[in-house]
Amino acid sequence: MSNQVDTPLKRELGLIDALSVGLGAIIGAGIFVLIGIAAGLAGPAVVLSVVIAGISASFTALSFCELGSALPKSGGVYEYGHTLIHPLVGFLMGWMWVAGNIVLGATASQGFAFYLSFFIHGLDFHIVAALLVVFVTLINILGAKLSAWVNNVFVAIKVLVLILLVAVGLLAVQAENFTPFMPRGFMPVLEAASLFYFAYIGFPRIATMAEEVRDPEKNIPRAILLALGISALLYALVSFTAVGVAGWQRLASSSAPLAEVAEMLGLGWVIGVGGLVATFSVVLTSVMGQSRVFFAMARNNEIPQKLSEVSERFGTPVYSILLSGGIMLVLVLFMDISGLAMLTSFLVLLSHVLTNYASLRLYRDKKFNPAFKAPLRPLHAFIGMALSLALALSVEVTAIKIGVILIVVGIVWFYIYKTYVKSKI
């Protein structure tokens, strides 16, 4: 091992790799489940809900594009808050983002075990999930380029699976399934859009890899916007096809709505494969993103500096990757994480509120001249901040309480550890 200062991260990832990281994080198991819940709220207008959710997410995405272009450093939200707001705020942004994504990755690993049980019966979900976490941690250690290559393959498979479902399904769409279009009015359409917003919020993982992306000032904004646009198009086509084939009532009453559609089309195996590759790539990019935030924090002496060391052989922050994988491993083996989805949403959305605020600070700070400038800036940041705050406060009260406790723990850690580090200097 060598210190990070001596062995910098390698810029090995091109635009396609960065785009794939975004798609790997965004297109997860959510689309396979959320479509049914959202259809139950909006009816056939769930297609409109998907589009509204994508537009809503784009305001925060534009903030990430500007910030990623101006501050192309590992750590993403952590670096934005640290540089543009205050070191404590930056630390808390990274703290919240990592906590939320660790739970998300652990949940996805259990989802992988669930989909694998379609093909192999009698599996122990916890053991399968744990083995997956160990495997993706090893891949991440062996190099960002290898991780990106594996992710590229899995992203291509899951995109092709959804395209196949749409291509076959469009031939079986029945127009009567779209009438009445809004059986419960417009407000439930907005409720469904709020729900579906969570299916889009994987794009910030691209920003965490900034120091490993070639020409990051241009490629990070491009990758974020392309990932969001491709995901939105796929989601809209899948939701249209699902409603057209099965009808919204049938989707709403099913715990596996896309599996239902696939069975009707004679493509039952498709959803099993799609679910496997979707959850795998979410876990892979989850470890990838978390470790880079830990790496950035350690570089600033806010967590043990050992975590900022980069392997001379592999060019990756091995100790940060092991910490990310290790925490996820403990979660999947020893904790019930089924009820923590809302906590993930609260923490990630709150970090997005602050990210949009950082974008406003970027706009006002004349020292920065980002290569990417959002249209109508800084209006997008105001809208993104308001939407993220509204959604963060809409989660259940228990999740908010646990989230606040985690934030307090983060504040205590920050001041105690910084005091400890100063005493050692």
What are the distances in angstroms from CA 79 to CA 31, 91, 210, 317? 30, 8, 11, 17
Domain ranges of the chain: 15-424
Within 10 angstroms of residue 404's Cβ, the number of other Cβ atoms is: 12
Which residue, among 316, 50, 364, 396, has the nearest Cα to 198 in the 3D structure? 50
Report pLDDT for 100.
87
pLDDT, tens only, 126-151:
899 999 999 999 999 998 888 888 88
Tens-digit pLDDT profile for residues 5-47: 456 777 888 999 999 988 988 887 678 777 888 899 889 999 9
| Bridge partners for 13 per DSSP | 213
Helix (H, G, I), strand (E, B) or coil at 2: strand
Instruction: Using pLDDT thresholds of 50, 70 and 90, give the confidence band for residue 2.
Output: very low
Q: Which of 210, 212, 207, 213 is nearest to 228 (CA)?
A: 207
- Residues 389-397 have a mean pLDDT of 85
Confidence at residue 6, expressed as pLDDT on a 0 to 100 scale: 54
Check pLDDT > 70 for residue 332: yes
pLDDT > 70? residue 412: yes
Q: What are 246-276's pLDDT values in tens digits?
A: 899 998 888 778 888 988 998 888 888 888 8
Looking at residue 425, its pLDDT comes to: 56
Q: Does residue 387 contact residue 270 with C-beta atoms inside 8 Å?
A: no
pLDDT of residue 60: 94
Mean of pLDDT values over 291-311: 90
Predicted local distance difference test score (pLDDT) of residue 422: 63
Say whether pLDDT at 315 is over 80.
Answer: yes
Average pLDDT, the chain: 88
Mean pLDDT of 315-344: 86
Residue 229 reports pLDDT greater than 50:
yes
pLDDT at residue number 236: 93
| Cβ neighbour number for residue 124 with a 10 Å cutoff | 11
Report residue 6 CA to chain centroid gap: 31
- The band of 327, judged by pLDDT with boundaries at 50, 70 and 90, is very high
Scan for tokens 């127009």, then name that residue.
175
Residue 212 per-residue DSSP state: G
Distance, CA of 10 to CA of 144 (rounded, Å):
8
CA distance 359 to 66: 7
Nearest to 271 by CA among 23, 22, 33: 33
The pLDDT of residue 365 is 84
pLDDT tens by residue, 50-67: 999 899 899 999 999 999
Residue 13: its pLDDT value, please? 83
Q: 72 vs 29, which has greater pLDDT?
A: 72
Confidence of residue 3 (pLDDT cuts 50, 70, 90): very low
Q: What is the pLDDT of residue 4?
A: 43
Q: What is the pLDDT of residue 122?
A: 83
Return the SS3 of 310. strand
- Tell me how far apart the alpha carbons of residues 94 and 78 are, in angstroms, rounded to a whole number: 4
Q: At 152, phi and psi to the nearest 5?
A: -60, -45
Check if the beta carbon of residue 275 is closer than 8 Å to that of residue 111: yes
* Domain covering 15-424: architecture: Up-down Bundle (1.20)
pLDDT at 115: 83
